[in-house]
Amino acid sequence: MIKKQAGFTLVEIAIVLVIIGLLLGGVLKGREIINNAKVINIENSFTGISSAIYSYQDRYRALPGDDHDDKTENRWGVDGGNNDGDIGGEFNSKSSGESQYFWLHLRNAKLVAGAASDKIQPTNSFGGLMGASSTVDSAKIKISGVHVGFDKVPGKIVAIVETRSDDSNPKTGGIQATDSDGNAASSYEENKDYTVYFEL
């Protein structure tokens, strides 16, 4: 007697394929939700820093970081800038200067969280620094005036932010970027990190 070979019916195969399709769809949707949350985090950080700058200007009639040394010394006993209307030093500078005093002044004014003695730039959700400055390499970035910067932002995130808020071109508009080598970015590659500058 010949034994019948057991196998899957077409209905069973169809059910398995539908389940696999649902699982894949859920994974892809989950990634999209995570990416959107990261985009919103960068956008919210920019909005929060911008609001803190405007609040400080309204209250003290100076830019945080650039606020005159005499005034900040009298007000809080901390170092200040030269009150020339610019925040000196790159936003991610590790040396003491106006771009670090920026955080010192905002923390003392209770406009951002942190210890009143802390002038170190906070990190963004990707582990890079974030801050504000008026200093840029004009050969690479065409933003003038005060800007807010973010280090180590993945290309796929920057591309979404650009599309939502600017002109999608990393060399023009209110959002511009440099690549990890410090060169002006010509496009956003998904697996590369960028330093992003948001014009205030």
Query: What tokens appear for 134 in the block?
Result: 């008026």
Q: How far apart are CA 94 and CA 78, in angstroms?
A: 18
Q: What proportion of the chain, given as a percentage, has pLDDT over 70?
A: 95
Using an 8 Å Cβ cutoff, are 149 and 132 in contact?
Answer: yes
- In this prediction, residue 22 carries a pLDDT of 78
Q: Rounded to whole angstroms, what are the CA distances from 169 to 118, 157, 163, 178?
A: 36, 14, 9, 12
Confidence of residue 78 (pLDDT cuts 50, 70, 90): very high
Q: What single-letter DSSP state applies at residue 66?
A: T
Give residue 175's pLDDT: 95
pTM of the model: 0.83
Structure-block tokens of residue 94: 């590790």
Give the pLDDT confidence score for residue 5 in this predicted structure.
Answer: 62
User: What confidence tens digit (pLDDT) does each residue in 58-71 have?
Assistant: 999 999 999 999 99
Contacts 24+ apart (CB under 8 A), 74-80: 75/108, 76/108, 76/116, 78/104, 78/105, 78/108, 78/116, 78/117, 79/104, 80/105
Backbone angles phi, psi at 30, to 5 degrees: -60, -45
Predicted confidence (pLDDT) per residue in 8-50, tens digit: 788 888 888 888 877 777 776 677 788 888 889 999 999 999 9
Cβ pair 188, 155 in contact under 8 A:
yes
**Tell me: the pLDDT tens digits for 103-125?**
999 999 999 999 999 999 999 98
pLDDT single digits (tens) 149-165: 999 999 999 999 999 99
At 1, the pLDDT band (50, 70, 90 cuts) reads low
Q: What is the pLDDT of residue 2?
A: 60
**Torsion angles phi and psi, residue 95, rounded to 5:** -90, 150
